[in-house]
């Protein structure tokens, strides 16, 4: 399997612009997570999907952030409008159903810089 695939790997954008990050989870995994990593706050869980349904979005920082999972093989995290404090690494991760496995796999991350 190709693993969790994220795009873009790097993005530099101007404040106020819309940013869309994409994720393709591992085939057959039914849970998908979006994390944000910064030096100050470490690894934060933003939102968690199970069978394409958002289960817990309490980590989404503001209304400027939104996430969707239209099908089992694709998810997006959107920031609109973006701000400099959104600069971080955003990771997508996937996990199989409990009875099928126990390991969460991460993508390589999307490195976002908002100037």
Partner 1 sequence: GEDVEQSLFLSVREGDSSVINCTYTDSSSTYLYWYKQEPGAGLQLLTYIFSNMDMKQDQRLTVLLNKKDKHLSLRIADTQTGDSAIYFCAEIGASGGSYIPTFGRGTSLIVHP
Contact positions toward partner 1, by CB under 8 A? 31, 33, 42-43, 45, 48, 50, 55-56, 91, 93, 95, 98, 102-109
**What residues does 50 pair with on adjacent strands?**
31, 53
3-state secondary structure 7-52: ECCEEEECCCCCEEEEEECCCCCCEEEEEEEECCCEEEEEEEEECC
Least distance from partner 1 to the Cβ atom of residue 93, Å:
8
Least distance from partner 1 to the Cβ atom of residue 21, Å:
14
Name which of 65 and 109 has its Cβ closer to partner 1: 109
């Amino acid at each position: 399997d190709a693993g969790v695939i994220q795009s873009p790997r790097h993005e530099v954008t101007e404040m106020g612009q819309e940013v869309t990050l994409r994720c393709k989870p591992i085939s057959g995994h039914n849970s998908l997570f979006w994390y944000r990593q910064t030096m100050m706050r470490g690894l934060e869980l933003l939102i968690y999907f199970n069978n394409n349904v958002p289960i817990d979005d309490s980590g989404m920082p503001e209304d400027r952030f939104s996430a969707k999972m239209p099908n089992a093989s694709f998810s997006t995290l959107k920031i609109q409008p973006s701000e400099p404090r959104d600069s971080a690494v955003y990771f997508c991760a996937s996990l199989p159903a409990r009875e099928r496995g126990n390991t969460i796999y991460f993508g390589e991350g999307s490195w976002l810089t908002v100037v």
